A and B are shown apart, each in its own frame.
Chain A
């Protein structure tokens, strides 16, 4: 195949913005976007809430400064302040640019883009399109990429980077439609593959494919991961699937009830009750369950989200989506029965360690979006900042790669290297005596992570988690692919995804064990307070000789001094 200047892995918000911006920066470049799904299927579409930008349409006194402060405070002071400054200063421009190229936005009375209040924000600055903001942004970006003639390789599954010393030569990927393993020699590779929270499996709100493929590939190529221990939990996921019941249910007045019929939030947030901040409500639910006041079922322990007192009319008119979801995924009509819920892994703050331009330590390798850790979210991401992150840094990384591609000589990937990748896949398909089911491993991984590396963490639990993960990695060697077909082998793909999750799970658990403090989404029972003296720093995880080598990196400070995070 003809060598590329830029190969972008992932077709969500970050990947598509990177492609558009790279083409704009230098139209002569040969750019490709690889995605394991059609780009319009990407998980960006699931973001409902909106994107933060200090446009000042709703609150005239809103400023970029305030947005910066809210984000830094929300991050529990772990975000790099220069990166946050980039994020927030670029925000108004990028939202207007999206508006200019066709994203539909809900509107204010004066016909400007509508904004609404969001958790942790001092002013209403979340720009939205009804409850489908991510979906409409993704559609717009995909439409514009089609307009510009971006070259897409849809339904290609990325396998590994081709590396020569400290420099990447491109990517090796499998064409799902033919099963053929193909080389994508490229001067630069951008990872934009989304988050890794699906490793919590049915305790995660993520799409089935959010398995951290880009991070795992980069990790195996020796690129460090940063702050992997920070995983955000949303308080109300459905018991069986982990799918999200949006905050609206509690906003409209829903109760959280334990086995004893008690509105237990009274013990944790007497004033705000069910409407306390996400991490607090998540911890409260988890405490109830841990102390034996949850309901029990083979599908796991849970508590009740009770909407019945709101009445059929209100549920039907204001919460139709929540009702539909409960019916679809739990078989429960909230008008008649409470919804079984428990906290669900929702967002990964950690990811590939990059600088403010999306560069990694490896020449020619870049990352952006949830897959990267710049870091702008630190220990805890604010609602409305994830869409913004993928847009702003998607654009920056596209521009950077386009500018820097010229620095590198054209790359080639040898036939031998390609053959190694093929052989690795083939071996997996050879029948052997005793084998393991990938489905069982996947579920066990989710369970051990939720139990031992979940909302409450503690030394002995984390040791148990690490032990479980290494046990699963050992058993994974015996996982067999039953489908021997070359055409669209989803069996093989799911096995490879499991491998990616297992590799990354180890970095999450190791990072969580190392960080002996509680900060943002990371809560250690044995170290209940934030310890700025010892832990105001990023953690790194690098793969050396098959083992996680922990490292660290200072947090870039700026105008804002460390303060206690209270709301």
Chain B
């Protein structure tokens, strides 16, 4: 069933869209349908899907609205990567196919399936609510609309990039933690939380932060950077996550949560030895009782398999530790100064 889009230009390429299909009313499990069309340069994945829906298979279901990359409706996985269909070029995708000539199209991951390429966005909205992703204004109600807050261009730039987020949920789909733990806050909600927390007009920074450091919160991120790599608006999401952590350590101290303690223990080891003392890391992060209760069976298995990390006295300092410590001290000093500077501003 070869069909053509716009036959007026020379140079067309045949392309097969292998599309994920699932209709919960009739299908017991998902499957793939192949649609082969001929596409010229400049045709987007969304235009192709629209074409298929209009001319080949009207039952193919996906969301699309603005078609210009600003509404975030048509996020889906194209050749395995979460992105917007409306800004993805068919010809470019053809060069990235695992199987030549076949572009794979699938729904976002880590979100409940509804039908074909449509997933449920409600869990994300629920998380936005849980983490108070809004400004609770410091302006008294009866003063609203009467005067402006004075906000420096510098402060605006602190959240300018973060407010580019269109909630397309590509980062949610790519996040490696969410695939293991659906309750995890998610990169998009961390980004939004950061944006609210650095806004001087907001009054609930501390409450939001207290929620963020709880279980499934900001400390669960493993720095895989997948969110940032897949962001359709090129927002440095990881910088926002790091900023929330630094803020948490500063405002709530290093002994606040296991996440903070874990970060602190890391720092301590790196400064002392230039490498990790893994054997005691769980104890310093979560305490002795928790470790015995939760990690003892695993520790036994490790002993049997001879995979136990060396006990602390046997962990020798890394080579060139003295030079490293000097560098480390200098670095921490710089970080401290930067912090003071940004606070003064």
- Which of the segments A130-138, A408-416, A522-530 contacts the partner chain? A130-138
B167 within 8 A of A: yes
Q: Is the beta-carbon distance between A45 and B70 smaller than 8 angstroms?
A: yes
Most A C-beta atoms less than 10 A away, residue of B63, B68, B139: B68
Q: Is the beta-carbon distance between A132 and B151 smaller than 8 angstroms?
A: no
Which of A130, A143, A154, A481 sits near B134, CB closer than 8 Å? A143
| Contact residues in B for A43 (Cβ distance below 8 Å) | 65-66, 71
Q: Is the beta-carbon distance between A331 and B41 smaller than 8 angstroms?
A: yes
A129 to B153 Cα, complex, angstroms: 11
A143-B134, A146-B129, A483-B61 are known contacts. Are A100 and B66 too (CB-CB below 8 A)?
no
| Contact residues in B for A488 (Cβ distance below 8 Å) | 61, 114-116, 118
Q: Is the beta-carbon distance between A207 and B115 smaller than 8 angstroms?
A: no
Q: Is the beta-carbon distance between B144 and A100 smaller than 8 angstroms?
A: yes
Q: Is the beta-carbon distance between B25 and A486 smaller than 8 angstroms?
A: yes
B54 within 8 A of A: yes
- Which of the segments B158-166, B178-186, B220-228 contacts the partner chain? B158-166
A483 to B156 Cα, complex, angstroms: 48
| Contact residues in A for B24 (Cβ distance below 8 Å) | 487
Chain B, range 138-174, C-beta contacts under 8 Å to A: 139, 143-153, 156, 159-160, 163-167
A297 to B6 Cα, complex, angstroms: 9
Q: Is the beta-carbon distance between B66 and A45 smaller than 8 angstroms?
A: yes
| Contact residues in A for B145 (Cβ distance below 8 Å) | 93-94, 96-97, 100
Q: Is the beta-carbon distance between B134 and A104 smaller than 8 angstroms?
A: no
Q: Is the beta-carbon distance between A297 and B8 smaller than 8 angstroms?
A: yes
CB-nearest residue of chain A to B129: A146
Fill in one digit per residue for B42-86: 1 if any A CB lies within 8 Å of its CB, else 0: 111001000001110011011111111111110000000000001
Q: Is the beta-carbon distance between B68 and A46 smaller than 8 angstroms?
A: yes
Q: Is the beta-carbon distance between B156 and A100 smaller than 8 angstroms?
A: no
B40 within 8 A of A: yes
B300 within 8 A of A: no
- The interface residues of chain B, by DSSP majority, are classed as loop
A101 within 8 A of B: yes
| Contact residues in A for B87 (Cβ distance below 8 Å) | 324, 328
B137 within 8 A of A: yes
B89 within 8 A of A: yes
| Contact residues in B for A107 (Cβ distance below 8 Å) | 151-153, 156
| Contact residues in B for A45 (Cβ distance below 8 Å) | 66, 70-71, 166
Q: Is the beta-carbon distance between A329 and B42 smaller than 8 angstroms?
A: yes
B201 within 8 A of A: yes
Which of B144, B148, B199 sits near A112, CB closer than 8 Å? B148
Q: Is the beta-carbon distance between A328 and B58 smaller than 8 angstroms?
A: no
Q: Is the beta-carbon distance between A143 and B152 smaller than 8 angstroms?
A: no
CB-nearest residue of chain B to A93: B145
A99 within 8 A of B: yes
Q: Is the beta-carbon distance between A208 and B67 smaller than 8 angstroms?
A: yes
A146-B134, A207-B65, A491-B58 are known contacts. Are A104 and B144 too (CB-CB below 8 A)?
no
Q: Is the beta-carbon distance between A102 and B125 smaller than 8 angstroms?
A: no
| Contact residues in B for A298 (Cβ distance below 8 Å) | 6-8
Fill in one digit per residue for A61-90: 1 if any B CB lies within 8 Å of its CB, else 0: 000000000000000000000000000000
Residues of A bordering B, CB below 8 Å: 37-38, 40-43, 45-46, 55, 93-94, 96-97, 99-102, 104-107, 109-113, 129-130, 132, 135-136, 139-140, 143-144, 146-147, 154, 177, 207-209, 240-241, 243-244, 297-299, 324-325, 327-332, 437-439, 481-483, 485-491
What are 18 A-B contacts with C-beta separation under 8 Å?
Answer: A40-B167, A41-B72, A43-B66, A55-B148, A93-B145, A106-B156, A107-B156, A111-B151, A112-B150, A129-B163, A143-B128, A207-B67, A298-B8, A325-B68, A327-B42, A331-B42, A437-B54, A486-B25
